[in-house]
Amino acid sequence: MVLSTTAHQEDTAMLKTETPARDHATLDQYPTTELVNVFVDDQVKAVEAVRAAAPRIAAAITAALPRIEAGGRLIYVGAGTSGRLGVLDSVELNPTFSWPHGRAVALLAGGESAMFVAVEGAEDDHDQGAADLASVKVDAGDVVLLLAASGFTPYVLGALRAARSAGALTIGFSNNADAPVANEAEIGVVLDTGSEIISGSTRLKAGTSQKIALNTFSSGLMVRLNKVYGNLMVDFRATNAKLVRRAIRLTAFASGADEAAAKAVLEQCGYHVKTAIVALIKQTSVEQAQALLEASRGSVRDAIA
């Protein structure tokens, strides 16, 4: 079922994200410096909206953790700006935390080409959202993140309802209260950013708030999955010269060894930072360090305790 544009407009007509901002009615007449300041200052409201939603984001991490620990996937679903932000978050998990590509799936209304060229009508297709979700064989072990600034996007709602039918955990992100994306998800995260300076352009602070919320959710989840030691990024792949240097610096910093010793151990373990840190601190072999990490479910802190 493709929801008509008219019906979609009727659903969203009175939403805060669609309401003109009365305090900037002469925006087109602002001097350029003032124009820039207004845009920048308005972004502060994105941070405030995410801070207000922090308890819901924490609840989402807690609910997602058991499924992800058991081997489930993170599946992002969205359209337009929201969908592209979901793609971005999913793609960055592998280089940052060595998260397997197959366990971070992003579905974007209009398909992969919509990442680069807007496919505006695709968001109105409820059935395609359900079909796209079914195509990745979602099941009860998965965590599905539904992203829609309005909270009414038919494509996202189709995927949401299909995810619930499959038993997956659903987490809905919306920039409007009392919208179905948040209300129908098991955990709804409302990012109340209000009206936009350019009326209806949710690529502004609504988009910023979604980016912050997704970063916070996925990074918090990765911390709980032992991808971080202290506040150090210790579970990444050293796939280029910059990352090799980073691996050496972090290993030396975390273990207290000099960089030469850190590099020597890293070379023995294929530049796996966790293994090198444990081997250096425990003064043991790479093989024993790997065994300690496996026994501690990947936690550097527990492995060296």
The residues carrying an active-site annotation are 92, 123
Structure tokens at 100: 């397997």
| Placement of tokens 């990012």 in the chain | 191
Q: Is the Cβ–Cβ distance between 229 and 300 less than 8 Å?
A: yes
Nearest alpha carbon to residue 248 among 264, 228, 232? 264
Q: What b/e string do you get for 47-57 counting C-beta neighbours within 10 Å, with b at 16 or more?
A: ebbbeebeebb
Cβ partners under 8 Å of residue 159, min gap 6: 77, 107, 129, 130, 132, 133, 144, 146
**How far apart are the C-alpha atoms of 86 and 75, rounded to whole Å?**
9
Q: By CB neighbour count within 10 A (0-12 exposed, 13-18 middle, 19+ buried), where does 240 fall?
A: exposed
